[in-house]
Chain A
Amino acid sequence: MICENCKQRPAKVTVTQVVNGEQVNRHYCEVCAQNLHPFHVEAAHQDPLAIHQLLQNWFNVPTQESTQRAQSDQPLKCDTCDWTFRQFLNKGKFGCADCYDSFRKQLPGVFKRLHNGNTKHVGKTPGGFERVIELKKQIESLRAQMQEAVAEENFEEAATLRDEARMLEEQLKNGADSA
């Protein structure tokens, strides 16, 4: 069988079309099939390298005003890795785990775009981390109680509460270092 389109090469591809409610089979060579029914994977291909471009487009719309402000103000920066928020946007990557803390306020906006509107983790937590969260909560509550006791001039109780909180803080620190 010869290709219906170019009438030169052998037909290797059959394309089924519905024309006026009737199924029609067309036989094309590979070259014509490709041209007549182009099949683009490009649209689906998501190169991770392209992310930084997306991020730049979303946040990095440099108007003159914002450039001037950025120069006068202290740029938003992570002290651990020395990367600025702008650098993060340009590279599309974080420099270290502390960047998350340094850019905490800005990040939900970034994540919303990347993760289908989501901004908060709901999955697994590392074992032992639950205990850390628990400890933090206990310390917070002890400190609140302590302040109340101070306000009521109940200094003896306040001192006990402070010691308890310190003990838990110590635990938290040791736990975090030796985890």
Chain B
Amino acid sequence: MTIEKFLESSVSGWMDPRGEDSDIVMSTRIRLARNLRGYRFPLSFTENEAHQVDQLVTAALVDSAEKVGTTFSSIPMEKTTTLDRQILVEKHLISPNLAKGQIPGSVLLSEDEGISVMVNEEDHIRIQCLFPGLQLEEAYEQADTIDRIFEKELPYAFDEEFGYLTSCPTNTGTGLRASVMMHLPALTMTNQMGRIIQAIMRVGMVVRGIYGEGSEALGNVYQVSNQTTLGKTEEEILEDLQSITEQIIQKEREARETLLHSEQPVLADTLYRSLGVLTYARIISTDEAAKCLSDVRLGIDLGIITGVDVSILNECMIFMQPGFIQKYAGNSLQPNERDVFRAKMIRERLTIENKTTTKGEKPHDV
């Protein structure tokens, strides 16, 4: 079954840490919302309409996939277990809404998981492109390529006045949501995030924590995205987000400099203690793990901690989530058993690190 490939590994192509500012910007995401003319939106259509839309969209993309230089696997939600759906959510490949499976829908995934097209989420089509680091233009170009494939094959719901017609009025117009996922530990430690979030919101962008339930920013990972989709061109939306992102990067770098120069021993102590927790803890909650992973990643970025791979934060943040833990454990775990299993997995991940690195210390007995 094709889905297994996407579930086995917690590492996706977009996590590969490379490129400018990839120490702060973990990934870039572009999402385009589109609907077909002649079919009601998923919130009001019939099951029959749902199946028709699913077939049309899937066929259109699968038939022209060679134009994008990849193949797509279609994963119908109806044939996917609840746990497997949860894992796809944890990997950011589908939304929690699609995972509910209340409407017959599916996801089309590219080989490297960089492109995912959700069918019958809130809209008939949701094109999503994920790129590592800050690559707004590149990600948009790819989403645009997919969009043009669809528009050749299928009639889009479009209006001269309102643009692309979407289920939610907050997406009307371009249907474009561009977002960057940023690791901002120094701004958080120096208590500047509150002020910065206020400033970002004032210029029409949205900031939210992306891990964890509710609104807390687990692991100091934030997502910044555009709020306005109407009355701005795609280029303007991307330029505005790029400019805001660059300013936040600048502020985070300044905060890191300040920390590095004024708080060296305290800072190094805090960061190394977190590495200690990850290396030796036998029970660890999601919250604690997220905090420690953020510290270790900061330590690596600042050159304080060596011998640990930078991708550790990206990867562990994914595989320490409940769905993955469950999948790896192979049976249902109670919440307290999950904390034990999580600690074990993180320890193992760090041990692999120590064995493969030449600079690192001897493997610890863990």
Contacts and interface: CB of A to CB of B under 8 A. Distances in A.
Interface stretch (A9-17, A63-71, A162-170): A9-17
A100 B354 CA distance: 59
A154 interface: no
Interface of chain A, main secondary structure? loop
A43 B188 CA distance: 16
Contacts of A55: 169
A133 B216 CA distance: 47
A25 B261 CA distance: 13
A124 B140 CA distance: 13
Interface of chain B, main secondary structure? loop
Given A12-B270, A51-B168, A127-B148, A176 B155 contact: yes
A124 B170 contact: no
A73 B15 CA distance: 57
A126 B151 contact: yes
A118 B208 contact: no
A43 B151 CA distance: 38
Contacts of A14: 189, 259, 262-263, 266-267
A55 to B, nearest CB: 8
- Of A46, A51, A97, A101, chain B has the most CB atoms within 10 Å of the CB of A97
B209 A41 contact: yes
B194 A40 contact: yes
- Of B155, B164, B168, B169, chain A has the most CB atoms within 10 Å of the CB of B169
The size bracket of the interface on A is 35 or more
B204 A94 contact: no
A95 B167 CA distance: 7
Interface residues of B, number: 68
A31 interface: no
Given A93-B41, A94-B41, A118 B232 contact: yes
Contacts of B228: 115-116, 118
B158 A129 contact: yes
B266 A1 contact: yes
Interface string B147-164: 010011011111111111
Contacts of B262: 14, 16, 25
A27 B263 CA distance: 10
B190 interface: yes
Interface in A93-122: 93-97, 100-101, 104, 107, 110-111, 114-122
B145 interface: no
A13 B170 contact: no
Interface in B248-286: 258-259, 262-263, 266-267, 270, 273
Contact of A91 (B43, B163, B194, B217): B43
In the A-B complex, the 4 residue pairs with the smallest Cβ-Cβ separation, listed nearest first, are A118-B231, A121-B163, A97-B157, A45-B215
5 contacts: A95-B41, A104-B161, A123-B176, A127-B152, A133-B160
